[in-house]
Amino acid sequence: MNAKSEMSPQTCRLSSMHKLQRWSPLFLCLASHRGRSFCFALVASALLALTLPLVNIVFIYPAFTEVFVQGLERDATRIGEYILPPSLKNTELRPGVMTNRFFADIYKLEQSFGLLRVRVFSSSGEVIYSDEPTDIGHLHDKPYFHEHLLKGETYSKLIVKNTTDLDGKTVTLDVIEIYVPFLNGDKFLGAFEMYYDISERISRLETLLFYSTAAMTVMVAGLLVALLFLLKKEAAHQLERIRAEQLKDDMDRIVQHDLKSPIISILTGLTYLDEFTEMTEEQRDIMTDIRQAASRSMDMINRSLDFYKMESGQYQYIPGPMDLLTIANRVVKDLSGFAEARGVEMLVTYNGSIPTDKDAMTLEADDTLCYTILANVIKNGIEASSPGERVTVSLTNTESLQVVVHNQRTVPEGIRQSFFAKASTEGKASGTGLGTYSAKLMTEIMNGTITMNTSEENGTTITMTLPRLGPE
């Protein structure tokens, strides 16, 4: 025999709570403005942690290296000017004009500056001096020699350890290969080539960048940890708030359900007394008042339970033929005493004019929901108005049916973005923030829309639009 097991509502709620706890750092924090700010800061910090090392690698390191190379180029240019004897400053370099002093100065230069390689070229590109004798007499035919040096431009290249230099030879150190031209005005006399060993300097630069990147990464990591801690606290706060709301909703439904039984007993007892008991006129009036109060209480409980079904998606919407103009007039009549006590005038219009007894605005919808929506919205407009002001209810009968409720006041800045949110209220001591929330919920149940626009110039306008026909 196969047994079918079902989870109880309480078990489902507990399961949902466990899922919320598991994903709370990701989702619950988005439920509050402070949590969204923390999430934004967390994402920004994570991007910063990824970006800083890249900035060091892509921008800072090349910039430092470029400045370093430019400094060496300037030094090489001054060295070239120093070693060239005055007698040769206006003469094209060639083997026959080189002096022993020139060769001695080059040798001293190699020893003093620790140069790895030195070569001197004639104006035609022939090697006339080299620390490697086998190079002497070779002609330099590389493109960069003609593209840069013959034009009087210093040319350099940073060569990383275990890669090839400009001549295609493998170097075992980090070096800078620099070519410095000798010029007499615009005339090219020859060139001077030298290799600088920069291994130690590159190592110090890389160490500096490593420690700076590590320090920035540690600081950003500390910021990330702090933000994660704040997010966890905010998530815990939101989870507690959701638990409290869930508990309150559960208690409300239990109380509402349990209250129905005694109220039904009261109504049954009143019916029995009315049918089988002799009463005076005054007693019957008192019993009528009791019956109306009990009926209103029962109606409030039923609507509250319907409201819960709407929120949970369990409400069954069954539209029927109704007259929205009649509903609007009834709401205005029921709220007339409330408006008069506040000195507020109410006006109903139909297609821009005062409605007559022959006018009607028929559609397929739920008259109880429509009444509740209009009652909430119009009552809010009355509460927001000052004595002597008017609340206007304008009905327009077109392809879709539209009701516009207008008052001359503006919605407070703090709740404009969350006007239709649950528990959104400001400035009302007894306000629950459920009026506009329920209006939006009920309008959407009927496949309609409801919007709010507010400004200092035009006041506040609530626009509800409903389809003429209900869902098929």
Q: What is the DSSP string of 203-255?
A: HHHHHHHHHHHHHHHHHHHHHHHHHHHHHHHHHHHHHHHHHHHHHHHHHHHHH
Strands 175-184 and 187-197: antiparallel
120-145 tens-digit pLDDT: 888 888 888 888 888 888 888 888 88
Give φ, ψ of 84 to 5 degrees: -80, 115
Asked whether residue 204 is assigned to any structural domain, the reply reads no
324-336 tens-digit pLDDT: 999 999 889 888 8
pLDDT at 17 over 80: no
Dist CA 83 CA 81 (whole Å):
6
* Residues 274 and 391 placed together within one structural domain of the fold: no
pLDDT at 350 over 90: yes
User: What CATH number should be reported for the domain holding residue 324?
Assistant: 3.30.565.10
Q: State the pLDDT confidence band at 388, using cuts at 50, 70 and 90.
A: very high
Dist CA 102 CA 104 (whole Å):
5
- Of the candidates 164, 197, 230, which is a domain's last residue? 197
* Residues 308 and 391 placed together within one structural domain of the fold: no
The encoded tokens of residue 308 equal 């819960």
* Residues 140 and 175 placed together within one structural domain of the fold: yes
Q: How many CB atoms are located within 10 Å of the residue 238 CB?
A: 20
* Residues 350 and 427 placed together within one structural domain of the fold: yes
- Of the candidates 131, 166, 197, which is a domain's last residue? 197
Nearest to 182 by CA among 46, 88, 315: 88
* Residues 277 and 305 placed together within one structural domain of the fold: yes
pLDDT at 464 over 50: yes
Can you tell me the mean pLDDT for 147-160? Answer: 83
Can you tell me the mean pLDDT for 245-273? Answer: 72
pLDDT at 241 over 80: no
Domain region containing 328: 320-466
* Residues 381 and 414 placed together within one structural domain of the fold: yes
Domain count, the chain: 3
Residues 6 or more apart in contact with residue 78 via CB below 8 angstroms: none
% of the chain with per-residue pLDDT over 70: 83
* Residues 89 and 165 placed together within one structural domain of the fold: yes
* Residues 188 and 301 placed together within one structural domain of the fold: no
What does the pLDDT read at residue 361?
92
The DSSP code sequence of 252-286 is HHHHHHHHHHHHHHHHHHHHHHHHH----HHHHHH
Amino acid at position 163, single letter: T
Dist CA 120 CA 109 (whole Å):
13
